[in-house]
Structure 1
């Protein structure tokens, strides 16, 4: 076990340079005082937002307050993440969170006040040249107006807010705190307690008995609580339907898509295009069965590595070089920005005591983005590096090309830039690889991403759609009904080469994403859009690269679906999903060839 250093022992070149945000604590304190002062001034606009001049001045002040608050918040929390046990930045983080809440409350009158204007008045504001900078904000308000209720109704809905969080909170408590799993025998023959964390490790075991026992223990436990868990999920569906009706949306699904202005066709097309390509998933399952040399492929055999662990020891410097080389199809402008990030300490590289786990890209408008890693010298960490730099460079190009208000891109777009980098890295590694064992390792790594990110998430998305539609039609979602729907979907998605074990019918009960309704489809669309971009870039070259850089520069200056369409990926058609599927098919063919050559 390597020694995990204290934060004070981390070398400068491996730590991010937060001085680019604030040179010192004093500068942070000055900006904090400034935000406090500006926040008290915004109240002067209350009750006066009726004409172009007052609205323009109010928006300008709102932007200034929001931008400075964001900078304060990001700096305090990134310092806090360096060592979460360190009290100075714990306190600073709390202070910045309190300020954000305070600012949110101070600014909360703006939207409702403008929305209370008649539709004609809103339209003339949109046409007012003095407000050209804020045209999108005003158009968005006009779009939302039919779903905004009267002042007293809105106040009532705000009070229901706390109650509406109950299903997710109860599920979280039950799933993370109260649910206890039995002991199961591991690879070494020892009896150990099954936990959420260790479950995947059991499923990755080479011993099928170990996998089966962990799988059964997991779902037997959920089955014991099926009535409670069905009631919790039901309550969440009921809550969604209540809000959809209260806010005058045709359905809960359409309400959830409305925020990003995503047409319902995008959701429906995703499911239809994946159904069309289920034979590929079935073919991959047949190959998995063959590679694992199993008479029967079961649901608990899905995570078992298909090839002996292939050790790829990749230092951070090697990872940076490989990522840099793999992104050469994106051209010099992109790679110059990437190099800038590598050389100018945007990245906090290694683990240290108390450092926040995982990885992310973050930052504030007006300064370059930052990336937090906990780098290990392996393939996974190299993919994490290119993924997070994809996010960082999306922000970098977006911030450079847009005003503050238009620079924020949606979650619907966020995963495209990061996943595209992963696709190009994978393409590069596969092109370069000469060792059949290494090649097989890479192919299975990539094929499993299609299985888990596109097929599995689409199956989840379809489950959510079915249960909401049934509830909207007045049908009861009993545990038996939920299990039947879920089991039938598994049969459909995995095909005849898979023994779909009965226990899997309880899996709906352990998916936390079902409490963040209609969210998971974005994983599948983002992955498909990125794969489609990668295919266009590798096949067409410069014209596709120019379109893609245009996508990065768009930030959030239009609706997500339009931004992608302009760049050559039309998510309202099944085409990008089909392009992604043709890449998946290519992987399966390569794997089949390598298997036949053995």
Structure 2
């Protein structure tokens, strides 16, 4: 039976180069010691940071320089853990850095208290005396929004001191999932035994063309999930309880209001995404499920079959081949943007090999003052190119934001964060369609575009709908047990899929699969980002360069504008339900295309 590699066995070129963050372990340890001394300098100036405009500006510069250093330390140990969470040294390093950062942030909790105490008129006078302070205006605006919910300084300091405890639910979840879970091997349609892991299921088997393998893998996957369901339920319940408690302490009406203020998003923007897509996308996706069942000649459409590709001719591709395709597709974004992507592809920003202990899915980590790092697992499917484009959408965004914005204005709201990533997927898909030499290849690309919408408008959107139900239950005093959480997710699935998919109880364990629930209201923002990307992609199709120029200016703006302001700058009205309905309608047109075209019978080439 094929065995998964250990981390040290993965070819170097398939791993990211963490030496770009710290060239040696000694350099990392030295930095860990130095940041304490730097924090002490800020603490020593505590009484004078708002005494005059120059003192305030210098304090802000010093404070955010330290925040950048802490971010790079945190990223370094986090990336090591993501590459191999089973490694004891990686676990120890992460714990050590978390402890140092918690201590420093506890001691520096006074900083924002003092800034919030500065009178707005006085701040305006300071900006006249020291114009450089205007660069921090967006940061001050966000502070003022939070000011009514700020607690007594000693209470804020206490909350900071408990940061490691508050982060424990996610730590326990990810450690259990990546380091402890063991799965039974599975057999494919040819009777071959294959290894099984969380990563292998999510990245390979769930979308396998082999129905026997796909269903056997799902059985093994859900069997192991079921063995951990009570532990994971307790961990998630602790996360929810923590969020509700903090919201109450700070005087918010609900945990939802608390989390949405962090995103600078109105409740109507949030509910429109959830309710319109959940209700109006369902008929299209039910039709797509039935198309799949018919063309794949399945006895029934199960939850394990939803990611199975109709197209049996989809090409396989290597990472090296995909680099060329991605650079050609993103040529329209201009030389500055393309240079970022080219550097990342050629200088080991991407970790794409597979090994025991590696994190599932994909992400882009972009600590300020360093280049981006992308994690994914390469399986050779054309879908991998779209994933690569997605993560480089984040990288391109963050590297431009970093170039043109201070750290205080660097990372925009979660509501906007997935727009640049999904935009790159749509640009790449458009390019692949233009280059396609056959109807078969065009159909293959259409199916992959549908997978983008499935991921963002179905997978993550249903998570968002489910998460809203969870918080409503918890705030009404209901206990979040494993059976309750599983039942809630099953209800969410049934409400969306109706009778188009044969669902059973184990499908409800899907709530255990994603880490997004430990990052506030993150899940639903994938649909928001793709809604924006769909509208802007249509502008690019129609206008060309002017729309691209607007988009690039938005990427450079970072968090200097609110998410609604960024989206308005793109000439998109995200507050108008018609914008969401247009994106849903586009998905319907893709399903129409899949229904009208016959299934492929031979393999296409990129």
Which TM-score band applies after superposition, normalised by the shorter structure? 0.7 to 0.9
Worse overlay, 383-392 or 365-374: 365-374
Q: 1:487-566 to 2 correspondence within 5 Å?
A: 487-566=490-569
Pick closer, same or farther for the CA change 1:240–1:447 going to 2, 3 Å: same
Question: How far is 1:262 from its partner?
Answer: 1.5
Larger radius of gyration: 1
Query: Could you tell me how far apart the structure 2 residues matched to 1:406 and 1:304 are?
Result: 41
Pick closer, same or farther for the CA change 1:83–1:593 going to 2, 3 Å: closer
CA offsets per residue over residues 53-96 of structure 1, 9 Å max, x none? 33233113223434456567778998999999999999999998
Report if the CA contact (8 A) 1:4-1:351 is conserved. Answer: no
SS at match of 1:570: coil
Query: Could you tell me how far apart the structure 2 residues matched to 1:127 and 1:175 are?
Result: 53
CA offsets per residue over residues 271-295 of structure 1, 9 Å max, x none? 1220122211112112111211234
Question: How far is 1:141 from its partner?
Answer: 1.9
Query: Could you tell me how far apart the structure 2 residues matched to 1:286 and 1:8 are?
Result: 40
Matched, 1:281 2:285: yes
SS at match of 2:470: helix
Query: Could you tell me how far apart the structure 2 residues matched to 1:432 and 1:346 are?
Result: 28
Match of 1:124 among 91, 107, 122: 122
Query: Could you tell me how far apart the structure 2 residues matched to 1:166 and 1:384 are?
Result: 29
Pick closer, same or farther for the CA change 1:77–1:258 going to 2, 3 Å: closer
Worse overlay, 503-512 or 577-586: 503-512
Pick closer, same or farther for the CA change 1:47–1:502 going to 2, 3 Å: same
Question: How far is 1:269 from its partner?
Answer: 0.6
2:137 corresponding residue in structure 1: 135
Report if the CA contact (8 A) 1:181-1:194 is conserved. Answer: yes
Report if the CA contact (8 A) 2:274-2:524 is conserved. Answer: no
2:44 corresponding residue in structure 1: 44
Pick closer, same or farther for the CA change 1:365–1:231 going to 2, 3 Å: closer
CA offsets per residue over residues 320-358 of structure 1, 9 Å max, x none? 332232224434554465556667x47568869999888
Pick closer, same or farther for the CA change 1:487–1:581 going to 2, 3 Å: same
Question: How far is 1:582 from its partner?
Answer: 3.1
Question: How far is 1:220 from its partner?
Answer: 5.8
Worse overlay, 171-180 or 543-552: 171-180
Question: How far is 1:470 from its partner?
Answer: 2.7
Report if the CA contact (8 A) 2:206-2:217 is conserved. Answer: yes
- Structure 2 length-normalised TM: 0.80
Worse overlay, 239-248 or 80-89: 80-89
- Structure 1 length-normalised TM: 0.81
SS at match of 1:248: coil
2:604 corresponding residue in structure 1: none
Question: How far is 1:270 from its partner?
Answer: 0.5
Question: How far is 1:268 from its partner?
Answer: 0.2
1:312 corresponding residue in structure 2: 316
Pick closer, same or farther for the CA change 1:579–1:22 going to 2, 3 Å: same
Report if the CA contact (8 A) 2:414-2:522 is conserved. Answer: no
Query: Could you tell me how far apart the structure 2 residues matched to 1:533 and 1:387 are?
Result: 16
SS at match of 1:238: helix
1:397 corresponding residue in structure 2: 400
1:300 corresponding residue in structure 2: 304
Could you list the runs of 5+ residues in structure 2 that have no partner in the other structure?
A: 602-606
Report if the CA contact (8 A) 2:6-2:356 is conserved. Answer: no
Worse overlay, 419-428 or 520-529: 520-529
Worse overlay, 498-507 or 557-566: 498-507
1:266 corresponding residue in structure 2: 269
Q: 1:384-463 to 2 correspondence within 5 Å?
A: 384-463=387-466
Matched, 1:154 2:156: yes
Query: Could you tell me how far apart the structure 1 residues matched to 2:181 and 2:90 are?
Result: 34
Worse overlay, 534-543 or 32-41: 32-41
CA offsets per residue over residues 225-279 of structure 1, 9 Å max, x none? 7666555544443332222111111111111122121211222011122012221
Query: Could you tell me how far apart the structure 1 residues matched to 2:120 and 2:448 are?
Result: 52
1:584 corresponding residue in structure 2: 587
Pick closer, same or farther for the CA change 1:191–1:438 going to 2, 3 Å: same
RMSD: 4.7
Matched, 1:291 2:295: yes
Query: Could you tell me how far apart the structure 2 residues matched to 1:232 and 1:354 are?
Result: 24
2:572 corresponding residue in structure 1: 569
Pick closer, same or farther for the CA change 1:163–1:94 going to 2, 3 Å: closer
